[in-house]
Amino acid sequence: MAEKTNRLSICLIKDSFKALEDIVPDMAGHVIDGVGTFYGQNSFDRSPDWTADFFGGSLDDHFNFRTASSKGVLLVEVEREVEPRIFALVFGHGRHLIADGAVEERFGLKVVLNSVERNNLRSIDKTALGAVPKQSREQMSREVDASSFGIDIEQDLLNSVTGRSSDPRLGKTITGRDALALSVKVDLTDVKQYLPVLLDLYESDAYRASGFEWIDQIKDVRDSGKIAELDDWLVGRIAADDIEKIWMAPPSIIDWADVAGFRYGGAKRPALKADLETSEFLEIFDEAPSLADIKAKRVHAISAKDDKPTESWNAYRCLYAEAQLPDGMFILNNGKWYEIAADFTEGVLADFDGMAESDLILPAFESGREGAYNEAATLTLDGACCLDANMISHGGGHSSIEFCDIFTADNRLVHVKKYSGSAQLSHLFNQGLVSGELFVSAPDFRDKLNEKLPHNRKLADTNARPSASDHEVVFAIIMPPGRPLEIPFFSKVSLRNARRRLEMGFGFKVTKLKIESVQPAAA
C-alpha cells in the first residue's frame, strides 16, 4: 500500500474499445510490467502567451516566466470472469491524448452516487432543460442533503457531484462526472488491485435505492459517434421528406409582440414567413441539404417596428426532432441531443395525452399578433376581461408577472401562446404556475391584481383566500394550420410539472386547449 496520498483522476474506457492503440492513437506506449501501459508527451517549457500578447515583451528583461503542459495516461486492464475492462489514469493534461468517444460517460458520477449518503453532498453541477438549457453549479459551505440543492428531478440533468464518501476505500471527498477524482493512498504498486473496487461501485445499482434513480431519465449524448449517427438520422429523414417528427421553433424566448415574422438565410431579401415551418425552410435548398448546409443557414426573427432582425440563430439550433431508434428515444433540442429513458418517455406522453381538454370555445387565429388576438377573443366571451401584457410588479427588483391573458366570467385563467419551441412554451407553463400560486397564497398580489381588473371583475375581499377548485387554468396553444395539438417533449415535461403543482398543491383544475390557426381569406 502506498504511504503517500495521491490525487487521482480515473476514467473507465468503453468496452467497445479493445485495442490500446484505439484508445490512445498514434503514440507508442511504455509497458510497465504487471501494471499497464503508459503514454506521455514530453513537456517543453516556454514563455506564457500573456507576456507577449499583453505586455509586449516589456517584462523579458526583468522576469523569466516559464510554463509547461505535461500529458500522461496510464492504461490498466482489469481482469474479470466475463471480460476485462480498461481504466485510464489521467495525469496533467493527459485527457487530450485519449481518443474522442473512448471514455465511459458518467462513470465517475455513478461511483460517487453509489458511495455517498444523500446528506453528505457538497456541490453539484446541473443543466436545467425545462427552458433554454442553463448550466449552473451550486456549492454548499457544509455537507447537505440532495434536496437542499433544489433539483427538479424531471427537468434537471445532473452532470457532476461532489460529496463525502461513506466508503473508506475512496478517501474523504470525491467528485464524479465522466472521470472520478479522489485522493487515496494508491500508487503504481497497488493500482491494479485497487481499480476493481471502482468497477464494482460503477456497476452497482445502489444509487437507485438511495433516491437517485431519476438520473437515468435524461442523459445528454456526448459520444461523437452517437451524435453523428443521430445527425445522419436527421439528414436522412429530411432527404426522404419524412419530417413528421422534425419541427422548427425559436430556440430562445422571444417577444412575439415585436415579431413580424421570420426569414431564412439565403436570398438577399427572402419572403417573410409568419411562423417557422420545416417544409418552408427546406424550400430554400435546391436539393436535400447536408448537415453542413443546415448549419450554414441562419434564421432571423424580424421586428415589427423596423423590419430588422431582433434575433438570429443557426438553423440547426431551431430544429427540434424526436428520434425513436431501436436503442431508445432521442431528442434534438437547441442544438443538442438527449437520450430519454423508455419508462420516463411513456409516462410523460401518457400524462399529456390523458390531460383534460378545456370545453372553452375560442375563435380561430387568422393572422397578426397574440395581443390583438387575445383582445378579439375576449370580446367573444361574455363578462371576460383581457389582461394580456398587463404586468404586475411583485416580489421586488424588476419581477413582473402576467396573471393571465384572458380572465373569463366563470373564473378561467386562460394563458395563450403561439406554438413554439421548448423555451417559449415552458415559459408559458411556468407563468401559469407562478400566477396561480400567487393568486391563492399572496394577499398583496391580489391587491395589485385588483387594480388591473375592471370594476365588474374585482375581487370582493383581497384578504380572503380564493378557492382554487373554483378556478380553471387553461393553457391554450395556437397551432399552425392543419396541425394537431402536439408540443415538444421537454415542453410536455414542463407542463406536467406545472400541472402537478397547480392541481395537487393548490387544487386548481388544469386543462389544455388547441386554438385553430387558419390562413386568412384572400382580399
List beta partners, residue 39.
73
Torsion sign (Cα): 358, 362, 368, 370: negative
pLDDT given for residue 398 in this prediction: 47
Could you tell me the strand order of the sheet in which 259-264 lies?
259-264, 298-303, 309-314
Q: Given 3-state DSSP classes, what are the helix, strand and coil percentages for the chain, each rounded to the nearest 5?
A: 30, 30, 40
Taken as a whole, the chain contains a residue count of 523
Cα 260 from Cα 355, distance rounded (Å): 33
The pairs formed by 293-296 with CB atoms below 8 angstroms and a separation of 24 or more are 294/235, 294/319
Nearest one of 412, 429, 431, 413 to 488, comparing CA atoms: 429
Cα 383 from Cα 380, distance rounded (Å): 9
Cα 306 from Cα 240, distance rounded (Å): 38
pLDDT in tens, the chain (523 residues): 677 999 999 999 999 899 999 999 999 999 999 999 999 988 888 888 888 888 888 888 888 888 877 899 999 999 888 789 999 999 988 998 999 889 998 999 999 999 988 778 888 888 776 544 566 777 776 766 666 677 776 777 788 999 999 999 999 999 999 999 999 999 999 999 999 999 999 999 998 888 888 888 888 898 888 999 999 999 999 999 988 788 888 877 677 778 888 999 754 567 888 888 888 899 999 999 999 999 999 999 988 877 888 888 889 989 989 898 988 889 898 888 999 988 898 999 999 999 999 999 999 998 778 899 999 999 999 999 999 989 998 876 447 899 999 999 999 999 999 887 666 788 899 999 999 999 999 999 999 999 999 998 999 999 999 999 999 999 999 998 888 998 888 889 889 999 999 999 999 999 999 999 886 544 3
The cell numbers describing 349, all together, are 406522453
Cα 358 from Cα 416, distance rounded (Å): 13
Nearest one of 408, 401, 403 to 385, comparing CA atoms: 408
**Strand 509-516 versus strand 472-479 pairing type:** parallel
SS3 472: strand
The cell numbers describing 488, all together, are 415538444
- With 0.85 as the threshold, say if the pTM is over it: no
Q: What is the DSSP letter of 26?
A: T
User: Cell 442533503, residue?
Assistant: 145
pLDDT given for residue 131 in this prediction: 45
SS3 23: helix
Cβ contact 261:302 at 8 Å: yes
**Strand 309-314 versus strand 319-325 pairing type:** unpaired
pLDDT given for residue 19 in this prediction: 94
Q: What is the DSSP letter of 258?
A: G
Could you give the C-alpha distances from 155 to 158, 329, 494, 512, in angstroms and in order? 10, 16, 7, 20
Nearest one of 422, 126, 371 to 249, comparing CA atoms: 422
User: Cell 513537456, residue?
Assistant: 43
Torsion sign (Cα): 234, 240, 246, 247: positive
